[in-house]
Structure formats: structure tokens, C-alpha cells
């Protein structure tokens, strides 16, 4: 299911208009078209290894696209800032779903703040990164839910249902493992971008963006408290969830835009 979201709130820049902006939009649309094609293929294939490779490729494409955006903005003196969005985190199993959203955001240089009682997360990040987050979160949530349901119900030795604890553990483990895979794919993209940068130093540019996102979080949520998604009491579910994450496709389909919080 697609996460619901409110309108964006962000700082837009007047620097660089017309032709440069149109070229950037054309590049964005081409990249998003490639990512959507990868994700659609990943979600339709019957071969888990192929789906995994397609997903990882999608993450790498979006990570590289984000870095290119950051460099272009720095060169042009673009003063645009992070955007804020709301993404629904629906029940059941909303806590591990919020964790999944968090790790996707973390890998894509965004922050997600979960409002448990309100049923959504506020996501903060730069536009290209927000796009990557929502695409990936939407796709991975579909894949995780499908794998979880396919695993079937669970009962203990006395015949009592253990399905809820199994699924809670499954999704928590899935999120943890997906976070590892996303960070690895994003790191590889950053390494390649640095090698191709032609003497440009990426670190100051990316560090400045990270600071801008952190500042946006501090400004919007000055009293933010970190919390735990909850404990895991079903080892079988944890093992199954990590296994499913290893086979997951790291992409996102459909429409895009969103972001989330690091632990």
C-alpha cells in the first residue's frame, strides 16, 4: 500500500531558473523511469536473486543521483533547504513498519520522526532523497508484507497462536537487515561518485547537507526523544525476517516523495 502524505513544506531557491531547472527535471524523470522499471521487474520476477540485484541497483542509482544533485546545487549556489513530509505508518505492526521507514531514510540521508499516537511519521530531507525514500519504503513494505503472509500462521506447542509475535519479529528483523543492505549499496554509490568527481571534494558538500537536515529536525522537533520500537520475543520470526530481507528487492515503484528518522 502507498503511504499517504501531506503537502511538502520546504525552502525553494530562486537561483538558477529556466533552462538549468528544465534540464534537471528531464534528468530526474529519466532516472525515475529507470528506477521504476527496475522495481517493477524486481517485484514481478520469480527469482529472488534477480530481485535482490535489481533492488540494489535501484538504490545505487538513486544514491548517485542524490550526490549529483548535491554537487550541482553547491556549484550553482542553490540555497534550497530540506523538505518536511508526513507518511502514514498504518497498523497492524506499526512499530516495525516505522523502523523500516527509519532505516530507509537513514540510508538516503533523511530523517524520519514517528508520531506513534497520530499514525504517521514526519520525514525531513532534500527533495531527491525524499523521492528515493518513499519509492523504496513503499516497495519494501509490499515485499515484506507479502513474505510475512506467505510464511503463514504460527502456534506454540500447546496450540496457542504465536502469529502476532512471529510477524512482529519478522518485520523488525526485515527492517534491520534491509538497513544493512541499503547502507552498503549507498556506500558503494558514494565511493564511485568520489572516484568520478574529478578532483571535487564530496565530503564538505554532503556534510553540509547532513547538517541542514539535522538542523531542520532540531528546529521542527526541539524536544525530540528517541524511543525503541519494542522488543522481539519470537526468534523464529526474527530469523525468517532476516532471510526475507536478504531476498528483497531494494527499489520502489509508483509515485515518489517521503523521508524518515535515524535511530
pLDDT one-digit tens code per residue, 203-236: 888 899 999 999 999 999 998 877 655 544 555 6
For residue 211, count CB atoms less than 10 angstroms from its CB and return exposed for 0-12, middle for 13-18, buried for 19 or more: exposed
| Residue 5 clears pLDDT 80, i.e. is over it | no
* pTM: predicted TM-score of the whole model, two decimal places: 0.77
Assign 253 a pLDDT band (cuts: 50, 70, 90): very low
Closest-CA residue to 137 (of 260, 8, 10, 11): 260
All three cell numbers of 69, joined, read: 544533485
Report d(CA 2, CA 184) in Å as an integer.
25
What is the pLDDT of the chain when averaged over all its residues? Answer: 78
DSSP-derived secondary structure letter, 254: S
Report d(CA 247, CA 173) in Å as an integer.
13
Domain edges within the chain: 9-246
Q: Under a CB-based contact definition with an 8 Å cutoff, are residues 99 and 172 in contact?
A: yes
pLDDT one-digit tens code per residue, 72-116: 888 888 778 999 988 999 999 999 999 999 999 999 999 999 999
Amino acid at each position: 500500500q502507498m503511504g499517504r502524505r501531506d503537502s511538502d513544506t520546504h525552502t525553494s531557491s530562486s537561483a538558477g531558473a529556466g533552462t538549468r531547472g528544465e534540464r534537471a527535471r528531464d534528468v530526474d524523470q529519466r532516472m525515475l523511469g529507470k528506477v521504476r522499471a527496475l522495481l517493477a521487474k524486481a517485484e514481478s520476477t520469480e527469482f529472488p536473486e534477480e530481485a535482490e540485484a535489481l533492488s540494489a541497483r535501484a538504490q545505487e542509482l538513486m544514491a548517485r543521483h542524490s550526490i549529483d544533485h548535491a554537487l550541482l546545487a553547491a556549484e550553482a549556489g542553490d540555497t534550497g533547504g530540506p523538505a518536511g513530509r508526513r507518511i502514514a505508518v498504518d497498523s497492524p505492526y506499526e512499530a516495525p513498519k516505522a523502523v523500516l521507514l527509519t532505516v530507509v531514510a537513514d540510508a538516503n540521508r533523511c530523517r524520519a520522526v514517528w508520531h506513534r499516537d497520530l499514525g504517521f511519521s514526519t520525514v525531513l530531507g532534500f527533495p531527491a532523497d525524499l523521492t528515493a525514500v518513499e519509492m523504496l519504503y513503499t516497495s519494501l513494505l509490499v515485499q515484506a508484507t507479502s513474505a510475512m503472509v506467505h510464511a503463514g500462521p504460527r502456534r506454540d506447542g500447546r496450540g496457542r497462536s504465536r502469529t502476532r509475535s512471529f510477524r512482529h519479529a519478522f518485520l523488525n528483523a526485515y527492517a534491520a537487515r534491509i538497513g544493512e543492505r541499503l547502507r552498503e549499496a549507498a556506500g558503494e554509490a558514494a565511493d564511485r561518485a568520489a572516484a568520478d568527481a574529478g578532483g571535487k571534494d564530496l565530503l564538505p558538500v554532503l556534510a553540509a547537507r547532513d547538517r541542514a537536515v539535522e538542523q531542520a529536525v532540531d528546529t521542527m522537533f526541539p524536544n525530540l526523544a528517541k524511543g525503541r520500537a519494542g522488543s522481539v520475543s519470537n526468534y523464529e520470526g526474527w530469523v525468517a525476517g532476516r532471510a526475507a530481507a536478504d531476498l528483497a528487492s531494494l527499489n520502489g515503484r509508483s509515485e515518489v516523495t517521503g523521508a524518515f528518522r535515524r535511530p
